[in-house]
Chains A and B, each alone.
Chain A
Amino acid sequence: MRLLRRLLPHPFLTLLLTLVWQLLVNDISLNSLLFGFFLGIVIPVVTMPYWPNRPKLRNIPMVVEYILVVLYDIVIANIAVARIVLFKPDAARNPAWVRIPLELRSPEAITVLAGTITMTPGTLSADLSAKGHSLLVHCLDTEDPDAVRDEIKQRYERRLKEIFE
């Protein structure tokens, strides 16, 4: 068991690298499978010093749910932004800055949240506060900045909290 842990310090990364290699080769054969797995073993061992405190994913079903929610929101975001760009006169738009106080602490979780905010409806993450306790978000068009903040906290941060913490 200990030997296995040393050989595969990061089993999920091993799996992901093998999979990505298959996609790069674009063809599943024993040859590419073996080489992908070889990369999947070597790369985590070599890069180990770069992730000293890596987070554990606690809740795998929640990861799937999160990905599905985000994909759905990306499609909605595209349509919403397209409508604003095409049909809303610029003077009628209310761009606004919103501060989102963060409950998430791990850098990885905050990174995922910031990326998600950028990809989803009418919001763009712009900056972190000096010690990482809040996130600065720009809204393309909003009547009520507080509602935007509450929705992001409820929809994404709550799920990320369950995944990472």
Chain B
Amino acid sequence: MAFAAELLISFFLIVSGIFGFVGSFGLLKLSDPMSRMHAPTKATTLGVGGVLIASILHSVFVDHHLSLHELLITLFLFLTAPVSAHFIAKWHIHRHETPASLPDAGEDGVWATHDIEDDEDVAEMPR
């Protein structure tokens, strides 16, 4: 029983290690900034998730009490990862894309990042 539990915990730790590695490797390997963001937003979810599952299993089988702290970490991660990715994407669109290089925005005509009424604050920005 104890051996089976250890095996299971190790399995989740290894899974998380692999995905954590792939996420970081993707940052190095992929060539353009937008693609580079795919690796950390996804591969890391399972990377962190694996450690958290292993931690829950460890507290149940080894310490013999139920600890569900880890569910909160998962929840916060799922809430924050897309938001920060969205911020980085907006920055990228702001600095490196023009309305012409993006697909047509449909009935609204322009994407929100390019929808700048006047350029005063942009012009004042130190270069």
Contacts and interface: CB of A to CB of B under 8 A. Distances in A.
Contacts of B81: 118-119
B67 A134 contact: no
A90 B26 CA distance: 11
B103 A26 contact: no
Interface in B23-63: 25-26, 29-32, 34-35, 37-39, 41-43, 45-46
Given A82-B22, A122-B38, A133 B106 contact: yes
A36 B88 CA distance: 35
Interface residues of B, number: 48
A77 interface: yes
Contact of B42 (A81, A97, A134): A81
Residue among A20, A127, A138 with the highest chain B CB neighbour number at 10 A: A127
A130 B108 contact: yes
A63 interface: no
A131 B89 contact: no
B22 to A, nearest CB: 4
B105 A130 contact: yes
Contacts of B25: 85-86
A23 B92 CA distance: 37
A59 interface: no
B108 to A, nearest CB: 4
A14 B126 CA distance: 47
A61 B32 CA distance: 40
Contacts of A98: 103
Given A127-B113, A130-B111, A138-B34, A118 B41 contact: yes
A131 B115 CA distance: 10
Interface string B86-127: 100110110000000011111111111101000000000000
Interface of A: 20, 23-24, 26, 74-75, 77-78, 81-82, 85-86, 90, 93, 95, 97-99, 101, 114-116, 118-119, 122, 124-134, 136, 138, 140
13 contacts: A23-B69, A23-B71, A26-B67, A85-B43, A86-B22, A119-B45, A124-B38, A124-B41, A125-B86, A127-B111, A132-B112, A134-B105, A134-B108
Given A78-B45, A118-B86, A131-B107, 13 more contacts: A23-B72, A24-B69, A82-B43, A95-B32, A97-B103, A118-B81, A124-B41, A126-B92, A130-B110, A130-B115, A136-B93, A138-B34, A140-B35
Interface of B: 18-19, 22, 25-26, 29-32, 34-35, 37-39, 41-43, 45-46, 67-69, 71-72, 78-79, 81-83, 85-86, 89-90, 92-93, 102-113, 115
